[in-house]
Amino acid sequence: MPLRTTKHWFGVVLDCPDASELARFYARLLGWTLYKDTPAWATLAPSADAGYNLAFQQEPHYVEPVWPSRPGEPLMMSHLDLKVDDLDEATAYAVEVGARLASFQPQEDVRVLLDLAGHPFCLYVDAEGSEGSEGSEGSEGSEGSEGSEGSEGSEGSEGSEGSEGSEAR
């Protein structure tokens, strides 16, 4: 039986060294409002009644994930997919507010960037005629999708054989 509540709501929480710093980055990136802002816990959402939020939790032992993945290195456990209208413009804006462009880019219609804590996130444009493919169909089953994680200093080909999982955006 699926979970039921009286109000529809969900949230995603990202671990990081400084919750406030990372929340402020995503508030600038997304244009969302901060609702709680402390070094240990911060939340933001598009509005108070949106039904979802993005939260950040301080993790004192946080280790930045590596993109693309490499054996024995910290793995990305999830990533955010953000649909945009203009990929070049959105990428430039993300870099302007503090993101880093990942050195490995597995697709032409997707840009992998790293936030202030090194979490990879993807900006993408929807392929024409693929309404309903709102982003992460190809990245859900990440087993074998080594090409969907993040670390700026990666050599390009190491994760490329596993990037097929992210092709179906």
Return the beta strands (E) in the chain as ranges: 10-16, 33-37, 41-45, 52-58, 80-83, 100-101, 110-114, 120-124
Provide the pLDDT for residue 143: 36
pLDDT at 87 over 90: yes
Is this model's pTM higher than 0.85 or not? no
**Mean pLDDT of all residues in the chain?**
80
Q: Which fold has domain 11-58?
A: 3.30.720
Measured CA distances, 60 to 12, 20, 33, 41, 54 (Å): 19, 14, 25, 12, 19
Query: If we measure between CA atoms, which residue out of 9, 38, 14 comes closest to residue 119?
Result: 14
* pLDDT tens profile 105-157: 999 999 999 999 999 999 999 876 554 444 443 433 333 333 333 333 333 33
Provide the pLDDT for residue 114: 97
Q: Which fold has domain 80-166?
A: 2,3-Dihydroxybiphenyl 1,2-Dioxygenase; domain 1 (3.10.180)
pLDDT at 166 over 80: no
Provide the pLDDT for residue 10: 87
Provide the pLDDT for residue 1: 59
Listed by start position, the domains of the chain span 11-58, 80-166
* pLDDT tens profile 19-71: 999 999 999 999 999 999 999 999 999 999 999 999 999 999 999 999 898 99
Provide the pLDDT for residue 9: 78
Provide the pLDDT for residue 163: 37
Cβ atoms 53, 44 nearer than 8 A: yes
53 or 165: whose pLDDT is higher?
53
